[in-house]
Amino acid sequence: MTGQRGFSVIELLVAATIGVLVVGGLLSLYLATTRSFGESNAQVALQRQGALALDEIGRQVRRASAIALATCNGVPNSAQVSTPAGTVCYYADGSGALCEFWGTTCRNLLAGGLKSIVLLVQPAPPDPRCPPGIPAGAPCFSVTWNPTDPTWVGVDLAIRDSDGDFDGVNAMAFAISLTCSGRNC
Protein backbone atom coordinates (compact mmCIF):
# COMPACT_ATOMS: atom_id res chain seq x y z
CA MET A 1 0.00 0.00 0.00
CA THR A 2 2.70 2.42 -0.80
CA GLY A 3 0.97 4.14 -3.76
CA GLN A 4 -1.87 5.74 -1.69
CA ARG A 5 -1.62 9.40 -0.95
CA GLY A 6 -3.90 11.44 1.35
CA PHE A 7 -4.10 15.08 2.20
CA SER A 8 -1.61 16.57 4.56
CA VAL A 9 -2.71 18.67 7.52
CA ILE A 10 -1.45 21.82 5.81
CA GLU A 11 -3.48 21.08 2.66
CA LEU A 12 -6.60 20.54 4.77
CA LEU A 13 -6.02 23.80 6.65
CA VAL A 14 -5.54 25.75 3.41
CA ALA A 15 -8.71 24.24 1.91
CA ALA A 16 -10.69 24.97 5.11
CA THR A 17 -9.42 28.57 5.16
CA ILE A 18 -10.41 29.12 1.53
CA GLY A 19 -13.82 27.57 2.23
CA VAL A 20 -14.39 29.82 5.24
CA LEU A 21 -13.40 32.90 3.22
CA VAL A 22 -15.78 31.99 0.38
CA VAL A 23 -18.67 31.30 2.78
CA GLY A 24 -17.90 34.54 4.70
CA GLY A 25 -17.91 36.54 1.46
CA LEU A 26 -21.22 35.03 0.37
CA LEU A 27 -22.75 35.70 3.80
CA SER A 28 -21.52 39.31 3.71
CA LEU A 29 -23.02 39.78 0.25
CA TYR A 30 -26.33 38.26 1.41
CA LEU A 31 -26.51 40.51 4.49
CA ALA A 32 -25.70 43.66 2.47
CA THR A 33 -28.39 42.80 -0.08
CA THR A 34 -30.94 42.08 2.64
CA ARG A 35 -30.15 45.37 4.43
CA SER A 36 -30.40 47.34 1.18
CA PHE A 37 -33.71 45.68 0.33
CA GLY A 38 -35.08 46.47 3.81
CA GLU A 39 -34.06 50.13 3.57
CA SER A 40 -35.57 50.39 0.11
CA ASN A 41 -38.85 48.94 1.39
CA ALA A 42 -38.80 51.37 4.32
CA GLN A 43 -38.35 54.32 1.95
CA VAL A 44 -41.27 53.12 -0.17
CA ALA A 45 -43.46 52.76 2.93
CA LEU A 46 -42.51 56.28 4.10
CA GLN A 47 -43.26 57.77 0.69
CA ARG A 48 -46.61 56.01 0.45
CA GLN A 49 -47.79 56.83 3.97
CA GLY A 50 -46.62 60.47 3.83
CA ALA A 51 -48.40 60.99 0.51
CA LEU A 52 -51.59 59.39 1.85
CA ALA A 53 -51.53 61.66 4.92
CA LEU A 54 -51.06 64.80 2.82
CA ASP A 55 -53.78 63.65 0.40
CA GLU A 56 -56.24 63.33 3.29
CA ILE A 57 -55.36 66.77 4.68
CA GLY A 58 -55.57 68.25 1.18
CA ARG A 59 -58.97 66.69 0.56
CA GLN A 60 -60.38 68.31 3.70
CA VAL A 61 -58.74 71.71 3.11
CA ARG A 62 -59.90 71.92 -0.50
CA ARG A 63 -63.53 71.50 0.52
CA ALA A 64 -63.23 73.75 3.58
CA SER A 65 -65.34 76.77 4.30
CA ALA A 66 -62.75 78.13 6.76
CA ILE A 67 -59.20 77.40 7.91
CA ALA A 68 -57.56 78.66 11.10
CA LEU A 69 -54.93 77.89 13.69
CA ALA A 70 -56.59 76.79 16.92
CA THR A 71 -56.11 74.73 20.04
CA CYS A 72 -57.65 71.34 19.29
CA ASN A 73 -57.83 68.56 21.86
CA GLY A 74 -55.47 70.63 24.03
CA VAL A 75 -52.83 71.01 21.29
CA PRO A 76 -52.06 74.63 20.32
CA ASN A 77 -51.30 75.63 16.71
CA SER A 78 -53.41 72.85 15.25
CA ALA A 79 -54.82 73.29 11.77
CA GLN A 80 -58.58 73.68 12.23
CA VAL A 81 -60.55 73.06 9.04
CA SER A 82 -64.29 73.70 8.85
CA THR A 83 -65.94 71.46 6.26
CA PRO A 84 -69.55 70.66 5.39
CA ALA A 85 -69.12 67.42 7.36
CA GLY A 86 -67.94 69.27 10.48
CA THR A 87 -64.75 70.67 11.97
CA VAL A 88 -61.57 68.63 11.74
CA CYS A 89 -58.18 69.42 13.27
CA TYR A 90 -54.70 68.22 12.36
CA TYR A 91 -51.89 68.14 14.92
CA ALA A 92 -48.95 66.10 16.21
CA ASP A 93 -49.45 64.22 19.44
CA GLY A 94 -46.80 63.11 21.92
CA SER A 95 -46.66 59.52 20.65
CA GLY A 96 -45.53 60.58 17.16
CA ALA A 97 -48.96 60.30 15.56
CA LEU A 98 -50.24 62.77 12.98
CA CYS A 99 -53.77 63.22 14.32
CA GLU A 100 -56.91 63.86 12.36
CA PHE A 101 -59.34 64.90 15.11
CA TRP A 102 -63.08 65.08 14.45
CA GLY A 103 -63.99 65.90 18.07
CA THR A 104 -63.85 62.45 19.63
CA THR A 105 -60.56 60.65 18.98
CA CYS A 106 -57.28 61.02 17.15
CA ARG A 107 -57.09 59.02 13.94
CA ASN A 108 -53.41 58.57 13.16
CA LEU A 109 -52.86 59.38 9.47
CA LEU A 110 -49.49 57.62 9.58
CA ALA A 111 -50.94 54.28 10.72
CA GLY A 112 -52.13 51.46 8.55
CA GLY A 113 -49.04 50.42 6.64
CA LEU A 114 -46.88 47.35 7.02
CA LYS A 115 -44.24 49.39 8.86
CA SER A 116 -44.90 51.48 11.91
CA ILE A 117 -44.36 55.13 10.92
CA VAL A 118 -44.20 58.13 13.25
CA LEU A 119 -43.35 61.80 13.05
CA LEU A 120 -39.63 62.48 13.30
CA VAL A 121 -38.65 64.21 16.56
CA GLN A 122 -36.34 67.20 16.13
CA PRO A 123 -32.90 66.22 17.43
CA ALA A 124 -30.14 68.52 18.62
CA PRO A 125 -28.47 69.66 16.38
CA PRO A 126 -31.52 70.28 14.17
CA ASP A 127 -32.33 67.89 11.34
CA PRO A 128 -32.80 69.78 8.04
CA ARG A 129 -35.75 67.54 7.18
CA CYS A 130 -37.77 69.05 10.05
CA PRO A 131 -39.71 72.23 9.32
CA PRO A 132 -37.84 75.41 10.36
CA GLY A 133 -38.43 76.60 13.90
CA ILE A 134 -39.24 73.20 15.45
CA PRO A 135 -37.50 73.04 18.85
CA ALA A 136 -35.41 70.04 19.90
CA GLY A 137 -37.55 67.22 21.24
CA ALA A 138 -40.72 68.35 19.41
CA PRO A 139 -42.40 66.40 16.59
CA CYS A 140 -41.51 67.61 13.11
CA PHE A 141 -44.93 68.96 12.11
CA SER A 142 -45.92 72.54 11.46
CA VAL A 143 -48.83 74.41 10.00
CA THR A 144 -48.38 77.80 8.36
CA TRP A 145 -51.45 79.99 8.16
CA ASN A 146 -51.75 83.66 7.27
CA PRO A 147 -54.74 85.51 8.77
CA THR A 148 -54.59 88.05 5.93
CA ASP A 149 -55.14 85.19 3.45
CA PRO A 150 -57.29 82.71 5.40
CA THR A 151 -57.86 80.55 2.31
CA TRP A 152 -54.25 79.29 2.26
CA VAL A 153 -52.47 76.82 4.56
CA GLY A 154 -49.04 75.22 4.41
CA VAL A 155 -48.30 71.87 6.03
CA ASP A 156 -44.75 70.60 6.66
CA LEU A 157 -43.81 67.32 8.30
CA ALA A 158 -41.01 64.80 8.55
CA ILE A 159 -41.61 61.12 9.27
CA ARG A 160 -39.51 58.05 10.05
CA ASP A 161 -40.05 54.35 10.55
CA SER A 162 -40.29 53.48 14.22
CA ASP A 163 -38.24 50.30 14.19
CA GLY A 164 -35.83 51.75 16.75
CA ASP A 165 -33.30 52.59 14.05
CA PHE A 166 -32.36 56.20 14.75
CA ASP A 167 -29.57 56.49 12.17
CA GLY A 168 -31.67 58.87 10.08
CA VAL A 169 -31.57 56.70 6.98
CA ASN A 170 -35.27 55.91 6.98
CA ALA A 171 -36.71 59.41 7.32
CA MET A 172 -38.45 61.65 4.81
CA ALA A 173 -39.81 65.22 4.66
CA PHE A 174 -43.07 66.38 3.07
CA ALA A 175 -44.56 69.82 2.43
CA ILE A 176 -47.74 70.98 0.79
CA SER A 177 -49.42 74.34 0.16
CA LEU A 178 -53.20 74.21 -0.03
CA THR A 179 -55.98 76.63 -0.83
CA CYS A 180 -59.50 76.00 0.32
CA SER A 181 -62.14 76.25 -2.33
CA GLY A 182 -65.30 75.68 -0.34
CA ARG A 183 -68.40 77.78 -0.75
CA ASN A 184 -67.62 80.26 2.05
CA CYS A 185 -63.86 80.19 1.83
Around Cβ 130, how many Cβ atoms within 10 Å? 25
- Tell me the per-residue pLDDT of 26-74, one tens digit each, with 9 for 90 and over: 998 888 887 777 677 778 888 889 999 999 999 898 888 888 889 999 9
Select the more confidently predicted residue: 166 or 79: 79
pTM value surpassing 0.85 = no
Phi, psi for 65 (deg, rounded to 5): -100, -20
pLDDT at 99: 95
Q: How far apart are CA 83 and CA 183, in angstroms?
A: 10
User: Quick check: bond before 135 cis, omega within 30?
Assistant: no
* Domain ranges across the chain: 9-179
Residue 155's pLDDT band (boundaries 50, 70, 90)?
very high
